[in-house]
């Protein structure tokens, strides 16, 4: 009997140890999971904490005053917020239709052998560091625009009624229009690859039914593919918008770093991210630094909202796929 | 009459279809045109500036010749440390999402974490830089390479969480059941069976994260800052390629511009190579699974 009792004891021992180790492992991975949750919350609070001096001093007025005066210690976020919104808006105006065209081309129009390489190229290009886009913008795009494009824009479009004020100004090349264009070039691969992926989730039989009824390619994309994927397409666009709003290096190079409120896209401006990147290392006073961190908090709130909408929209498609 | 209106309707639809296809093709050409232009500029300017001294000399003062040795070393060191800090936590958190959030409460927690992780994945990197500044740099009182590595780790984390989660969920349930039915404890199933099955995918995630952080500039501006000299001290500011490119490109000196292009070239080639390698691993493992 003894010879049997011994192994059972060993087995019990072993089982107890396994249970203990399992519990430990579950705790470790659980803590790692919660760490992800905590880091986002901590990021928000740390910036609120870092910017407390600015928020306390200027109050909510911080959001809509346009003073930015390090000498007199008066700071307002209007100019950077305005610049961020304008450049992102210009970028989306260019990027959304182009991305839709690329996605349509890659899923419906291009011959099969071309789809793979072009799709892969666009995805690879989405990975190029944003500082490269910024450098290219500064050294290549800005001279071309200021010599050949902006003089023409100023002369012709600057005279238009109402919208003319957006296009009038000295053709120095740096400015919000240039920043918007560089941003658009940067987010096109992102939005296009999300749209392409989303379009590929449309069941083949839906499209085939439409083609069988005599639909043209355009009708299939506009009346079948797009309604089926609408929420996810909007999600993809918001994902690109989130990127455009928070992008730093690509715009810092070409925005001109000027704290002035202007309607003209040809004039230099500033964005939240560019202001922080340009001035943080040189911020010499507590108030200056705190105002920059407060700017970061504003950026965090804006992008958080946009990205939340994006994810909720994208999730709807995932649900549809699951059914 | 009837035939005529069908005919016009048919023509209108045809014209619309052709116009849409032409516009879509132009859009693709438009997108590819800019991207080719950017890559070509970087490669041609970079190749012209490429020199062996790039890898043997330190970053120079204005107007003098030099290289990027200290910056390249700093970038490699901080990127590796960033992966070293971020990837293990990411793998564990991804494991939690895929394997351990099964009860009603933990499933809801898992959904929340997944959602937050997706937001972290596309959060502006400059925000993460400010976060690490208030978390590490401000209490320490000075910029340091360690803070730079931590800020990069926060960029690595969500990428690895996402890929680990997705890859583990691709592992067939039979594998888990077979191992568990043999009496293997769950942690051993996870480490010895599931990790092994999804290893190529997880490695791909880590490589993609590495490609992403090696070009990150914004978070390093307020954490690692820059350093003109050679240093291996993690507690000191450290040079790194992206910040050096930023500083040199914004300067008025031609010799600094040349170095910035050379740095941009090295960076782009590295990032593209790593991304291609990451994709190659995935496609090869997919073939072997079939």
Cross-chain residue pair B245–A135, CB shorter than 8 Å: yes
| Interface membership of B268 toward A (CB under 8 Å) | yes
Cross-chain residue pair B28–A293, CB shorter than 8 Å: no
Are residues A186 and A251 in contact, defined by beta-carbon separation less than 8 angstroms? Answer: no
Q: What is the dihedral of CA A295, A297, A303, A304, to 10 degrees?
A: -170
Is residue A2 scored above 60 in pLDDT? no
Closest alpha carbon within chain B to A184? B31
With residue B207 as reference, give the H or E element that holds it: helix B199-214
Is residue A323 scored above 70 in pLDDT? no
Cross-chain residue pair B242–A129, CB shorter than 8 Å: yes
Cross-chain residue pair A47–B272, CB shorter than 8 Å: no
Q: What is the pLDDT of residue A90?
A: 94
Pick left, alpha or beta for residue B238 (phi over 0 → left; psi -120 to 50 → alpha; otherwise beta).
Answer: beta
DSSP state of A74: E
Residues 140-199 of B with CB under 8 A from A: 154, 157-158, 161, 185-187, 190
Q: What SS3 state is found at A68?
A: strand
Q: What is the pLDDT of residue A321?
A: 60
| Interface membership of B27 toward A (CB under 8 Å) | yes
| Interface membership of A196 toward B (CB under 8 Å) | no
Is residue A47 scored above 60 in pLDDT? yes
- Partners of A43 on chain B (C-beta within 8 Å) are 123, 127-128, 131
**How far, in Å, CA of B82 to CA of B33, rounded?**
34
Share of chain A above pLDDT 90, in %: 54
Q: Which of A114, A89, A137, A82 is nearest to A263 (CA)?
A: A82
Per-residue tokens: B216: 């990150």
Cross-chain residue pair B126–A39, CB shorter than 8 Å: no
Q: Which of B41, B113, B122 sits opposite A33 (nearest CB)?
A: B113
Pick left, alpha or beta for residue A12 (phi over 0 → left; psi -120 to 50 → alpha; otherwise beta).
Answer: alpha
Q: What is the pLDDT of residue A259?
A: 83
Cross-chain residue pair A34–B117, CB shorter than 8 Å: no
- Which whole number is the average pLDDT over A131-135? 93
What Å distances lie between residue B219 and A65, A234, A301, B63, B124, CA to CA? Answer: 27, 29, 18, 28, 9
pLDDT tens across the length of chain B (290 residues): 455 688 888 899 999 999 999 999 999 999 889 888 999 999 999 998 888 888 888 888 887 788 899 999 999 999 999 999 999 999 999 999 999 888 888 889 999 999 999 999 989 999 999 999 999 998 988 899 999 999 999 999 999 999 999 999 999 999 999 999 998 999 999 999 999 999 999 999 999 999 999 989 999 988 888 888 888 888 889 999 999 999 999 888 888 999 999 999 999 999 999 988 988 887 766 544 43
| Interface membership of B48 toward A (CB under 8 Å) | no
- Partners of B14 on chain A (C-beta within 8 Å) are 216
Distance from CA of A10 to the nearest CA of B (A): 15
Cross-chain residue pair A273–B92, CB shorter than 8 Å: no
**How far, in Å, CA of B286 to CA of B290, rounded?**
7
Pick left, alpha or beta for residue A162 (phi over 0 → left; psi -120 to 50 → alpha; otherwise beta).
Answer: left
Cross-chain residue pair A100–B264, CB shorter than 8 Å: no
- Partners of B131 on chain A (C-beta within 8 Å) are 42-43, 46-47
Q: What are phi and psi of B67, to 5 degrees?
A: -135, -160
Cross-chain residue pair A104–B215, CB shorter than 8 Å: no
- What's the whole-number average pLDDT of chain A? 88
Q: Which of B20, B186, B246 sits opposite A218 (nearest CB)?
A: B20
Half-sphere exposure of A29 (CA within 13 A, CB side): 26
Angle between helices A286-322 and A78-104 (to 10 degrees): 30
Q: What is the pLDDT of residue B103?
A: 84
Q: Which of A11, A12, A21, A32 to mutate to test the interface with B (most CBs of B within 10 A)?
A: A32
Cross-chain residue pair A218–B279, CB shorter than 8 Å: no
Give chain B's length: 290
Half-sphere exposure of A176 (CA within 13 A, CB side): 29
Cross-chain residue pair B126–A102, CB shorter than 8 Å: no
- Which whole number is the average pLDDT over A50-72? 88
Q: Which of A185, A180, A184, A171 is nearest to A83 (CA)?
A: A180
- Which whole number is the average pLDDT over A97-112? 93
Q: What SS3 state is found at A75?
A: strand
Per-residue tokens: A207: 């499209």
Which of these ranges, A95-99, A174-178, B16-20, B99-103, has the smallest mean pLDDT? Answer: B99-103
Asked whether the CA dihedral A163, A168, A171, A173 is positive or negative, the reply is negative
| Interface membership of A109 toward B (CB under 8 Å) | yes
Cross-chain residue pair A109–B125, CB shorter than 8 Å: no
**How far, in Å, CA of B12 to CA of B167, rounded?**
48
Is residue A205 scored above 50 in pLDDT? yes
Distance from CA of B56 to the nearest CA of A (A): 23
Q: What is the pLDDT of residue B290?
A: 38
Q: What is the pLDDT of residue B287?
A: 46
- Partners of A42 on chain B (C-beta within 8 Å) are 131, 135
Per-residue tokens: B132: 């690490």
Closest alpha carbon within chain A to B118? A311
Higher-confidence residue of B280 and A140: namely: A140
Cross-chain residue pair A128–B34, CB shorter than 8 Å: no
What Å distances lie between residue A90 and A84, B83, B117, B180, B255, CA to CA? Answer: 10, 35, 29, 56, 34
Closest alpha carbon within chain A to B36? A125
Question: What residues pair up with A69 in beta bridges, in sequence order?
Answer: A74
- Partners of B115 on chain A (C-beta within 8 Å) are 311
Strands A68-69 and A74-75 come out as antiparallel
**How far, in Å, CA of A272 to CA of A291, rounded?**
11
DSSP state of A147: I
Pick left, alpha or beta for residue B60 (phi over 0 → left; psi -120 to 50 → alpha; otherwise beta).
Answer: beta
DSSP codes, A90-116: HHHHHHHHHHHHHHHIIIIIS-HHHHH
Closest alpha carbon within chain A to B46? A132
| Interface membership of A49 toward B (CB under 8 Å) | yes
Is residue A276 scored above 80 in pLDDT? yes
What Å distances lie between residue A44 and A37, A76, A150, B112, B263, CA to CA? Answer: 12, 20, 40, 17, 33
| Interface membership of A299 toward B (CB under 8 Å) | yes
With residue A72 as reference, give the H or E element that holds it: none
DSSP state of B62: T
């Amino acid at each position: 009997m003894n010879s049997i009792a011994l192994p059972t004891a060993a087995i019990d021992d072993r089982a107890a140890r396994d249970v203990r180790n399992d519990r430990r492992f579950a705790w470790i991975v659980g803590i790692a999971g919660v760490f992800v949750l905590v880091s986002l919350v901590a990021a928000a609070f740390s910036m609120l904490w870092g910017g407390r001096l600015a928020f306390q001093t200027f109050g909510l007025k911080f959001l809509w005053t346009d003073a930015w005066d390090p000498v007199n210690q008066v700071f307002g976020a209007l100019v950077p917020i305005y610049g961020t919104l304008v450049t992102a808006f210009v970028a989306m105006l260019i990027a959304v239709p182009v991305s839709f065209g690329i996605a349509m081309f890659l899923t419906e129009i291009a011959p099969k052998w071309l789809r793979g390489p072009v799709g892969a190229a666009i995805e690879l290009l989405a990975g190029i560091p944003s500082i490269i886009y910024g450098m290219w913008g500064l050294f290549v795009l800005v001279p071309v625009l200021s010599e050949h494009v902006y003089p023409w824009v100023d002369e012709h479009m600057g005279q238009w009624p109402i919208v003319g004020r957006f296009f009038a100004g000295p053709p120095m090349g740096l400015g919000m229009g240039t920043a918007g264009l560089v941003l658009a070039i940067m987010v096109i691969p992102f939005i296009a690859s999300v749209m392409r992926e989303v379009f590929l989730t449309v069941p083949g039989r839906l499209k085939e039914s439409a083609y069988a009824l005599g639909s043209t390619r355009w009708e299939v994309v506009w009346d079948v593919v797009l309604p089926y994927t609408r929420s996810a397409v909007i999600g993809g666009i918001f994902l690109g918008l989130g990127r455009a709003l928070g992008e730093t290096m690509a715009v810092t190079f070409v925005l001109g770093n000027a704290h002035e409120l202007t309607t003209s896209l040809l004039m230099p401006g500033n964005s939240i991210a560019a202001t922080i990147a340009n001035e943080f290392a040189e911020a010499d006073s507590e108030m200056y630094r705190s105002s920059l961190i407060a700017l970061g908090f504003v950026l965090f709130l804006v992008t958080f909202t946009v990205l939340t909408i994006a994810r909720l929209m994208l999730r709807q498609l995932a649900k549809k796929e699951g059914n | 009459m009837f035939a005529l209106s069908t005919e016009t309707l048919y023509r209108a639809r045809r014209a619309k279809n052709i116009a849409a296809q032409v516009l879509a093709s132009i859009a693709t050409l438009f997108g590819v045109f800019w991207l080719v232009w950017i890559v070509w500029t970087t490669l041609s300017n970079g190749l012209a500036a490429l020199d062996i001294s790039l890898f043997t000399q330190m970053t120079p003062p204005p107007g003098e010749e030099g290289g990027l040795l200290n910056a390249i070393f700093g970038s490699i060191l901080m990127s590796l440390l960033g992966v070293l800090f971020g990837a293990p936590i990411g793998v564990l958190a991804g494991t939690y999402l895929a394997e351990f959030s099964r009860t009603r409460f933990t499933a809801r927690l898992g959904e929340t974490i997944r959602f937050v992780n997706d937001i972290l994945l596309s959060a502006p990197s400059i925000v993460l830089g400010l976060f690490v500044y208030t978390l590490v740099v401000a209490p320490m009182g000075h910029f340091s390479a360690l803070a730079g590595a931590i800020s990069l780790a926060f960029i690595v984390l969500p990428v690895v969480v996402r890929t680990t989660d997705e890859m583990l969920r691709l592992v067939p349930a039979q594998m888990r059941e077979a191992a568990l039915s043999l009496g293997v404890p769950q942690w051993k199933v996870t480490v010895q069976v599931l990790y092994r099955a999804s290893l190529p995918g997880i490695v791909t995630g880590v490589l993609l994260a590495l490609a992403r952080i090696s070009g990150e500039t914004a978070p390093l501006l307020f954490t690692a800052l820059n350093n003109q000299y050679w240093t291996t001290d993690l507690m000191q500011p450290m040079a790194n390629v992206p910040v050096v490119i930023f500083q040199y490109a914004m300067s008025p000196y031609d010799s600094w511009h040349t170095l910035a292009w050379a740095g941009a070239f090295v960076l782009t080639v590295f990032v593209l190579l790593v991304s291609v390698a990451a994709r190659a691993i995935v496609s090869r493992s997919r073939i072997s699974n079939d």
